[in-house]
Structure 1
Amino acid sequence: MMKLGFDGKVALVTGAGSGIGAAVSRQLAEEGAEVVVADLNGDAAQTVAAEIRSLGGQAQHIAVDVSDPDAVERLVQFVIDRCGALHLAVNNAGTDGVRKATADYPLDEWHKLLNVNLNGVFYCMKHEIAAMVQNGGGSIVNMSSILGCVGLPTASAYTAAKHGVVGLTKVAAIEYARMGVRINAVGPGWIETPLLLDHSDTVSTRRMVALQPMARRGTPQEVSALVCFLLSEQASFISGSYHLVDGAYTAH
């Protein structure tokens, strides 16, 4: 197994209380990083951090609402105060929102979803990048989706936010490339996470999964493998790009 070389690195993962975020946190810790496990659900974050420590890894936890810019600023300061620096970040926190056709989409739900899935990524990047520049560089992975490049009926807010995450990633990668900060986006497809399982019985979800060429859903660990590679120095010339983990779904 290729070693990714995270010894001595400090990593922040948002939305890390379950699913992909939890898988990424575990793998980062296994590879030697000290991980700050952040989630809106503080109890879930605590559980993941405790599991990592029980296996010999280094982890701390914190509850955070990434849609609150002040809370995000405090989050990054927490990482620096507790761990001394920030080298790696995975902006994974997100929500899926209601399923409505565009003209029927409730305004309050639109703003709520974009505040988490797009604004939250921006808030995190704003403070993470500043910390990494001071530290001489770092690496960020933003969690987009297959809906960062294709559409899904009744998911206008989610699709708009995930397209926006890809755009933010590209711009920031250009801006900070010469300062040693690499920034990439990952687009998971139909992955076995709480978000998908919550909608597993909806007609649109059943149709989309049925179109999956590999005839199965992906796992959080399969997404984590790519995320951790992109964070590592093995990917030292990869920045500003958007990588799909979708079992050929978007190849249709």
Structure 2
Amino acid sequence: MNDTTAPFRLDGRTALVTGAGRGLGFEMARSLAAAGAHVAINGRDAERLRQAAAAIEAATGRPVAIAPFDIADTAAGREAIAAIVRDQGRLDILVNNVGARDRRPLKDFSPEEAGALIATDLVAPMMLAREAAERMVAHRHGRLITVTSIAGHVANRHDPVYTAAKAGLTGLMRALAVDYAREGITSNAIAPGMFATETNQGLVDNADFSAFVDIRVPVGRWGRPHEIGAAAVFLASDEASFVNGHVLVVDGGQTVRM
């Protein structure tokens, strides 16, 4: 980085953020755009993506592209990445954020149901990371950012398949950190704790559960969705060029409390 360049800037970089129509994906996409990146946002609902892109553009003054596809569709992901590269000349940053959740005891899962959840939460991001990394190799620069969960480190009752998938994502991230480091590509993860996203609104509104959050999280509150954005910007930036194979936990201290 040139000494005169402001730190944590992403000017000239291109990013794809999956699951960015709302929630944490949206906030990470907005932060990357605010740092100067050209951002493409992914989801399955094209209209929601258009609304999200307009909101990010209004907040940052940066144009935002939409990439509507299902990440479980490997061919669609390959084509979306190819389209980004055709449009921008390169892909520098992949934020693998999409994840499904199914909270049930293991005894209630059929093999097919367990396989479907793992396919969405582990295999699909794996294949998308492969496609992105192969594009990044050409420029000997890239940032693979995997959004896991604190559930990859600590377990709740009756949540085994999701926990296994998130732990697998952590292992994948570390393997990619080894495989691609000599190509100028780093691989890291963000592990969010309990955030007050749209998906969690029912729990946020539940007085008993929010009282639990107050006790369990040292900072005494839910995470605010915008608080995830700086973590993505840091890992995507040149300032993180020697950070590789790391899980950045953003949970208000939840996982370090006895």
TM range (shorter): over 0.9
Unaligned runs of 5+ in 2: 1-5
Aligned counterpart for 1:243 among listed residues 238, 243, 248: 248
Cα distance in structure 2, aligned partners of 1:134 and 1:228? 22
Letter of the structure 2 residue corresponding to residue 62 of structure 1: A
Letter of the structure 1 residue corresponding to residue 65 of structure 2: Q
Could you report, residue by residue, the CA deviation over 1:214-239 in whole angstroms, capped at 9, with x for unpaired residues? 22111222111111101101111101
Q: Secondary structure at the match of 1:194?
A: coil
> For structure 1, which segment, 227-236 or 108-117, has the greater mean C-alpha deviation from structure 2 after superposition?
108-117
1:167 aligns with 2:179: no
1:152 aligns with 2:160: no
Cα distance in structure 1, aligned partners of 2:88 and 2:184? 20
Could you report, residue by residue, the CA deviation over 1:118-170 in whole angstroms, capped at 9, with x for unpaired residues? 11210111101000001221111100000111111111111011101100000
Contact between 2:7 and 2:239, CA under 8 Å: does it hold in 1? Answer: no
Question: What is the TM-score of this pair, normalised by structure 1?
Answer: 0.92
Contact between 1:33 and 1:58, CA under 8 Å: does it hold in 2? Answer: no
Contact between 1:80 and 1:86, CA under 8 Å: does it hold in 2? Answer: yes
Contact between 2:11 and 2:36, CA under 8 Å: does it hold in 1? Answer: yes
**Equivalent residue number for residue 44 of structure 1:** 48
Name the Cα RMSD after superposition: 2.0
Contact between 1:166 and 1:185, CA under 8 Å: does it hold in 2? Answer: yes
Could you report, residue by residue, the CA deviation over 1:31-87 in whole angstroms, capped at 9, with x for unpaired residues? 111100111222221111122233420210021111111111112112112221101
Cα distance in structure 1, aligned partners of 2:130 and 2:150? 24
Could you report, residue by residue, the CA deviation over 1:190-248 in whole angstroms, capped at 9, with x for unpaired residues? 01123322555789966863422222111222111111101101111101111110111
**Equivalent residue number for residue 192 of structure 2:** 188
> For structure 1, which segment, 38-47 or 172-181, has the greater mean C-alpha deviation from structure 2 after superposition?
38-47
- Quote the offset at 1:187 in angstroms: 0.4
Aligned counterpart for 1:63 among listed residues 64, 68, 78: 68
- Quote the offset at 1:106 in angstroms: 3.7
**Equivalent residue number for residue 82 of structure 2:** 77
Question: What is the TM-score of this pair, normalised by structure 2?
Answer: 0.90
> Within 5 Å, which residues of 2 pair with 1:204-219?
209=213, 210-219=215-224
Q: Secondary structure at the match of 2:20?
A: coil
**Equivalent residue number for residue 230 of structure 1:** 235
> Within 5 Å, which residues of 2 pair with 1:74-113?
74-97=79-102, 99-113=103-117
Aligned identity (percent) is 32
Contact between 1:10 and 1:87, CA under 8 Å: does it hold in 2? Answer: yes
1:139 aligns with 2:143: yes
Contact between 2:32 and 2:232, CA under 8 Å: does it hold in 1? Answer: no
Q: How many residues align?
A: 250
Letter of the structure 2 residue corresponding to residue 228 of structure 1: V
Letter of the structure 2 residue corresponding to residue 43 of structure 1: E
Indicate how the Cα distance of structure 1 residues 63 and 34 shifts in structure 2: closer, same or farther if over 3 A, else same.
same
Contact between 1:86 and 1:135, CA under 8 Å: does it hold in 2? Answer: no
Cα distance in structure 2, aligned partners of 1:28 and 1:151? 30
Contact between 1:96 and 1:195, CA under 8 Å: does it hold in 2? Answer: no
Cα distance in structure 1, aligned partners of 2:165 and 2:85? 28
Q: Secondary structure at the match of 2:200?
A: helix
